[in-house]
Amino acid sequence: MNNKRKRSVKSTLLFRFLAGAYLLYLDYSIWTDWEQVKSSEKIVVILFMIFFASVGILLIAYTARELNRLKHEPEIEEEKEIEDIGLDDKEISKIGLEDKEIEDKELKDEELKDEELEDEELEDEELKDEELEDEEIRK
């Protein structure tokens, strides 16, 4: 279970890095094709170039920093996993106990229902037997 979580955090960081690199690639592509941009569109293109470059650099820098922290302090990864789901160890164990209690209660409820059904069936049989006896007595 922990291996899945560790891969999940690292794969999320990898995808962030790839997204940042792709934005920088888009920025570079726009820059190399600058002559083909119409003069009326240049302001919009410049704004997008600034946006792509800024977000791409921020994503790469953030990802590199997080990967470096995970490399040097592996316990941060475990804390980050718990933060991601918003629970601490006590809450996680409490949820496990609550689930167990719910399952136990459901099983008890099912047993009680089964017992009630059996009791009703017995009562029905007894009533039928009494009715048959009453009919026999009347005859």
DSSP assignment of 53-117, as one string? Answer: HHHHHHHHHHHHHHHHHHHH-HHHHHHHHHHHHT--HHHHHHHHHHHHHHHHHHHHHHHHHHHHH
Asked if the model's pLDDT at residue 51 lies above 90, the reply is: yes
Q: Which of 10, 15, 6 is nearest to 66 (CA)?
A: 10
pLDDT at 38: 86
Taking only the tens place, the pLDDT of each residue in 83-139 is 555 555 556 566 666 666 677 777 788 888 888 888 888 887 888 888 878 777 876
Would you tell me how many other CB atoms lie within 10 Å of the CB of residue 56?
20
Taking only the tens place, the pLDDT of each residue in 31-42 is 888 888 888 888
DSSP state of 87: -
pLDDT at 63: 92
Q: What is the model's pTM?
A: 0.49
The contacts of residue 105 (CB under 8 Å, 6+ apart) are none
Phi and psi at 33, nearest 5°, equal -100, 25
Percent of the chain past pLDDT 70, that is, above it, reads 73
pLDDT at 88: 56
Mutual angle of helices 74-85 and 42-72, in 10-degree steps = 120
The contacts of residue 53 (CB under 8 Å, 6+ apart) are 23, 24, 27
